[in-house]
């Protein structure tokens, strides 16, 4: 009997064939044939998958977080887990920008580059960073759900779960309903993921048909600088963190986690990746639901190491293109603002480039520079999103093990 191929392998094959197909179509097929493909096949197929996983994000985060917060039971412990994960998120992000800056100062990606500014570009206004914190508290939780405001949903769901615990026995039936609703959401993910191979193929080949390789050439040095630091962050920082802080085998982690990485790569969205990330953490990495239901959605919203890396490299790159020398002090400001800016970045495609405005503004680099890197941002976005969500799962594993709640049998299986 033939063995059935695992979903993970199918997704990987879809990724590779999608890239190859995109490259071939871009190079050899006529524009009208490509337009036909994109319009009639790739866009609809990609959107079916994308909408399918986005469909579960809000109800899944709500139900799983209420049930997770309620199952922790002990409020002190919730606070301790929260403190640990937030420290991990902030420290790894600051480390990521620091590595990005050191590397950018070594390779000077923007030196000798004279690029004309596209005149029609207008940089978006960056939000005031204090607002990011204050706005975490919803004034109307239903509105937060409707709009998909992740931080607000997280705050409300935690309070809901904690309150259920405080009420105790009398709220048990409500908790049961929420737990069952949560199980149903997880089932939906399983169903939607059956379309993942087709969705991944369509999303990837569409981007490559549209972008081609040509647009990348002038900015190759910028792209490679970012890719190199992203790789360093994953292999060195996360690898070492898993080994030293998590006391687990990093290879096992990556072997099980890469389906989630492929989903992040093809969707460019941390938010859209939440359902698969939760599923993999709980079922394959042995993380308890009580911890992951809190740390993964939170991480998808605030922990963006890949985005911070892009912002660091982009700041140096744009400064160099404009012939601006950055002092040590300015670079320290970049570390601080890129960390904050990445926290404020939403887990949706292209959000990081908007927040880059905040970083540039702080050190007086012309915002028009964003237009230069914008042309290649789609590809960079795909790669940095992979790092963004990997950081969340690594932190979740580490915190779970530090709480002695990581199921090592499942992790090592
Ligand atoms: N697309 C990224 C994410 O969802 C955010 C960004 O644009 O940097 O994680």
For ligand 1, say whether the CB of 339 is within 6 Å of any of its atoms. no
Domain limits for position 369: 7-412
Number of H helices, E strands in the chain: 20, 0
CA 313 to chain centre: 18
Spatial separation of the C-alpha atoms in residues 230 and 104, rounded to whole Å: 12
Which parts of 41-162 are beta strand (E)? none
Report the pLDDT value the prediction gives residue 127, as an integer from 0 to 100.
64
| Structural domain total, the chain | 1
Please check whether residue 300 is in contact with residue 207, taking contact to mean a CB–CB distance below 8 angstroms.
no
Is there a domain that residue 2 lies in? no
Q: Is 352 in the pocket of ligand 1 (CB under 6 A)?
A: yes
Range with the lowest mean pLDDT among 104-113, 126-135, 217-226, 402-411?
126-135
Closest to 343 in 3D by CA, of 153, 86, 65, 64? 86
Lowest mean pLDDT among 98-102, 135-139, 362-366: 362-366
CA 389 / ligand 1 centre spacing (Å): 9
CB neighbourhood size of 361 (10 A): 16
Does 349 contact ligand 1 (Cβ within 6 A)? yes
pLDDT in tens, 30-69: 999 999 999 999 999 999 998 998 898 899 989 988 988 8
Distance CA 75, CA 65 (A): 14
pLDDT band at 124 (very low <50, low <70, confident <90, very high): low
Instruction: Kindly state if the Cβ of 350 falls inside 6 Å of ligand 1.
Output: yes
Which tokens sit at 62? 């709500």
Percentage of the chain with pLDDT > 90? 66
Whole-model pTM: value is 0.90
Kindly give the distance from the C-alpha atom of residue 351 to the centroid of ligand 1, in angstroms, as a whole number. Answer: 6
**Is the distance from the beta carbon of residue 396 to the nearest atom of ligand 1 less than 6 Å?**
no
Per-residue pLDDT, 357: 87
Residue 209: both structure tokens together: 């048909």
Ligand 1 contacts CB of residue 270 (under 6 A)? yes
Give 314: exposed, middle or buried? Use CB within 10 Å, 0-12, 13-18, 19+. buried
Structure tokens at 129: 């960073």
247-261 pLDDT, tens digit per residue, is 999 999 999 999 999
Q: Read out DSSP for 226-262?
A: HHHHHHHIIIIIIHHIIIIIS-S-HHHHHHHHHHHHH
CATH code for position 351: 1.10.3860.10
346 Cα to the center of ligand 1, angstroms? 7
Flag whether 181 is in a domain.
yes
Task: Quote the pLDDT of residue 1.
Answer: 47
Is the per-residue pLDDT at 218 higher than 80? no
Confidence at residue 73, expressed as pLDDT on a 0 to 100 scale: 67
Quick check: is 323 in a domain? Answer: yes
CA 307 / ligand 1 centre spacing (Å): 6
Is residue 304 lining ligand 1, measured as CB closer than 6 Å? yes
Domain presence at residue 34: yes
Cβ–Cβ under 8 Å, residues 175 and 70? yes
């Amino acid at each position: 009997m033939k063995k059935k191929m695992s979903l993970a392998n199918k997704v990987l094959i879809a990724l590779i064939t999608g890239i190859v197909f995109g490259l071939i179509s871009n190079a050899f097929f006529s524009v009208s044939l490509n337009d036909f493909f994109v319009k009639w096949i790739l866009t609809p197929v990609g959107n079916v998958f994308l909408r399918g996983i986005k469909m579960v994000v809000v109800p899944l985060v709500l139900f799983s977080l209420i049930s997770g917060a309620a199952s922790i039971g002990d409020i002190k412990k919730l606070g301790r887990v929260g403190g640990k994960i937030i420290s991990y998120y902030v420290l790894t992000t600051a480390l990521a920008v620091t590595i990005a800056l050191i590397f950018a100062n070594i390779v000077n990606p923007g030196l000798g580059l004279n690029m004309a500014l596209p005149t029609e570009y207008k940089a978006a206004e960056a939000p005031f960073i204090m607002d990011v914190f204050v706005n975490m508290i919803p004034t109307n939780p239903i509105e937060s759900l409707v709009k998909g405001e992740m931080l607000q949903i997280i705050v409300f769901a935690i309070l809901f779960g904690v309150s259920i615990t405080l009420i105790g026995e009398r709220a048990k039936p409500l908790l049961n309903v929420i737990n069952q609703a949560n199980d149903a959401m997880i089932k939906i993910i399983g169903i939607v993921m059956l379309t993942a191979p087709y969705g991944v193929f369509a999303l990837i080949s569409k981007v490559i048909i549209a972008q081609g390789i040509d647009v990348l050439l002038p900015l190759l040095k910028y792209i490679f600088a970012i890719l190199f630091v992203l790789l360093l962050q994953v292999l060195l920082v996360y690898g070492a963190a898993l080994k030293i802080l998590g006391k687990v085998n990093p290879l096992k982690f990556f072997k099980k986690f890469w389906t989630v990485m492929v989903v992040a790569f093809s969707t460019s969205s941390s938010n859209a990746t939440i359902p698969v990330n939760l599923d993999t953490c709980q079922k394959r990495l042995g993380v308890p639901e009580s911890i992951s239901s809190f740390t993964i959605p939170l991480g998808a919203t605030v922990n963006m190491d890949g985005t911070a890396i892009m912002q660091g490299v982009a700041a140096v790159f744009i400064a160099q293109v404009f012939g601006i020398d950055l002092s040590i002090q300015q670079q320290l400001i970049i570390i601080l603002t890129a960390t904050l800016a990445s926290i404020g970045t939403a887990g949706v495609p292209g959000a990081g480039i908007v927040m880059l405005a905040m970083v540039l503004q702080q050190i007086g680099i012309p915002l028009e520079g964003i237009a230069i890197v914008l042309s290649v941002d789609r590809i960079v976005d795909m790669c940095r999103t992979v790092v963004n969500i990997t950081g969340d799962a690594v932190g979740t594993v580490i915190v779970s093990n530090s709480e002695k709640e990581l199921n090592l049998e499942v992790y090592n299986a």
